[in-house]
Chains A and B, each alone.
Chain A
Amino acid sequence: MRTRRAARAGQYAALLGYLLFLAFPLLWLLSTALKSPRELGSLHPTWIPRHPTLANVRQAFAEQPLAHAALNSLVVALCTAVVAVLIATPMAYVMARHRSRLTRAATAWVVVSQAFPFVLVIIPLFLVLKNLRLIDSLTGLVLVYVVWALPFALWMLTGHVRAVPAELEEAAAVDGAGRLRTLVSVTAPLLAPGIAATALFAFVTAWNEFFFALVLLKSPQRQTLPVILTHFIGAEGVADLGPLAAAAFLATLPSVAVFALVQRRITGGLLAGAVKS
């Protein structure tokens, strides 16, 4: 009994340590955002600012169009998440349920396509978008992000579809449900955690992406948050640290909020009890 308690305490201690490790960058960012330039130059930095100030937040908003950039990022990230899920879900279903040479080849292509780095594709991509008149357009950026997120989203969702027992669909068919009815009433609810996780992945990928946005958007009024954040950084990596930390901290909040909204879906364990063992 005592051994079990000690083991449990050890597990909690390890979990707490892990959580602190994960939270460290965010907490340090917050601490930095609330410090004055003089405190930032201190030889002995403290976790809790000695003279907390919101001057960095005010300066960040005064110097750069953060709110507008955040709105651009939000629109792009939401569109990316929705479009990626709408395309990936039926594809993943086909790839999981109808296994053939074609689906195996498609899976292999999905894995291979992950290997292309940004710099390799950016110039051809730029030219394609230019011909489509989608340079300096958020629609063009969404298109790129969807294409970029799709392979991994597809791969992720295929795994989730495979985890839904085919017997459930067969049982619904035996009970007289049509194909569409089975998909909508039986499969889709069970796929909800997978769809939520995929949407979250696509959202965070688009929200954080910098390089495509930097290259594809020209007009200041269309720039997204990661691009605007670099305006606090000068040559040779010198940075206006306080406003940069304040803006970067605020930029992490929407991702955290979206994650908080969908995490229950992800961890809901909707499959529990679906099949009698």
Chain B
Amino acid sequence: MTAYLVAVGIVALIYMLLTIGLNLQYGYTGLINFGVVAFFAIGAYTAALLTLAGWSLAPAFVVAMVAAGLLAYPIGLLSLRLSDDYLAVVTLGFSEVVRLVIQQERWLTNGVQGLPGIPRIFQTLGIGEYAELATLAVLVLCNLAAIAVMLHLVRSPYGRLIQAIRDDEVAVEAIGKDPRRLKVQVFMLGSGLAGLAGAFYAHFITYLSPDQFLPLVTFYVWIAMIIGGTGRTSGAAVGSLILMVFLEGSRFARDWIPGVSEVQMASVRLALVGLALILFTIYRPQGMMGRRQ
């Protein structure tokens, strides 16, 4: 039971990293990233390929984070020339292309067969079961660090500027700051966090294949952010927790309701995600506990 809770905790914390990244991009700057899963995948594959090639974990994780952040750079630049909803479609398309590349370039990613045998985090320490607990602890620290960075950003003059971009870009330009550079930086930072989350994911699940990176994952993160309340620091934690309860709950529900296949359950999950996206945007755009404006 403890092992199970730890495992669930780890996945929840991975989603939380993703949610913090998205919250930074959308909640604070209004950048609509519908391609979160692309940066997640890039981080996961980068780290996995490096550790499989014999790198140790820490540098591989850093490279994964940087790689995801750097790949966000051209898209961030593009976002400056597009209005919000176009950025959404472009990032969605980007995430599908990334998945396609992972599927097709077998020489690198082993295609649909996937990458097995990715080393576990702290496997080499020889601490057995405690390795997962340690992973959990490291993830907690990473999340705290991400929140600290975010709070710092939000409260600094830089952060007020970021929020001002969301509310009024022209005004920011008028006070002589370049909102465009800030936007790109925030986009890269959020994507770097997604890359780091990917690295953790790869070394927790230990197996990667392209169908783990469907657009659905992006919208899991969106749901977590929307439920928690966009632009709220505590929102990411609450949202990812609720998301986890839902995802895990749906797994248990299948054990209780006889005659439901895993495929059908997947449909139900997709239906509920869709329904949540619809209902929250109509009835509670400010999130579950939010009160905004």
Q: Do A and B bind each other?
A: no
